[in-house]
């Protein structure tokens, strides 16, 4: 167990950040699934918001930058192929 006030605070703040990251990551994954299941008109409308969500996750180091690039590329190809 932590012996210092700062260590206790660090534990609390890490828990808050972990939960926020999990929520944002799961929300983005659900948005990607929704985009993949949509028809062309709806997919084109959803694409910019999903890309924005992916970029925000990469900026906050929730996902790796290259993973974000790969996801965006695959989604762009998917929308173009519809």
- Contact assessment for residue 43 and residue 82, using Cβ atoms and an 8 Å cutoff: yes
What are the sequence ranges of the domains in the chain? 5-81
Query: What band does 2 get if pLDDT is binned at 50, 70 and 90?
Result: confident
Q: Under CATH, domain 5-81 is a member of which superfamily?
A: Ribosomal protein S20 (1.20.58.110)
The pair of three-digit structure tokens given for residue 50, joined into one six-digit string = 């999903």
| pLDDT value of position 55 | 97
Query: Residue 1: is its pLDDT beyond 80?
Result: no
Query: Residue 10: is its pLDDT beyond 80?
Result: yes
Residues 15-70 have pLDDT tens digits of 999 999 999 999 999 999 999 999 999 999 999 999 999 999 999 999 999 999 99
The pair of three-digit structure tokens given for residue 67, joined into one six-digit string = 């993973």
């Amino acid at each position: 167990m932590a012996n210092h006030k700062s260590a206790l605070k660090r534990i609390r703040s890490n828990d808050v950040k972990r939960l926020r990251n999990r929520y944002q990551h799961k929300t983005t994954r659900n948005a990607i699934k929704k985009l993949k299941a949509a028809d062309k008109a709806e997919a084109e409308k959803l694409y910019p918001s999903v890309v924005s969500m992916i970029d925000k996750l990469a900026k906050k180091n929730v996902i790796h930058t290259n993973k974000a690039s790969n996801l965006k590329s695959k989604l762009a190809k998917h929308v173009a192929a519809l």
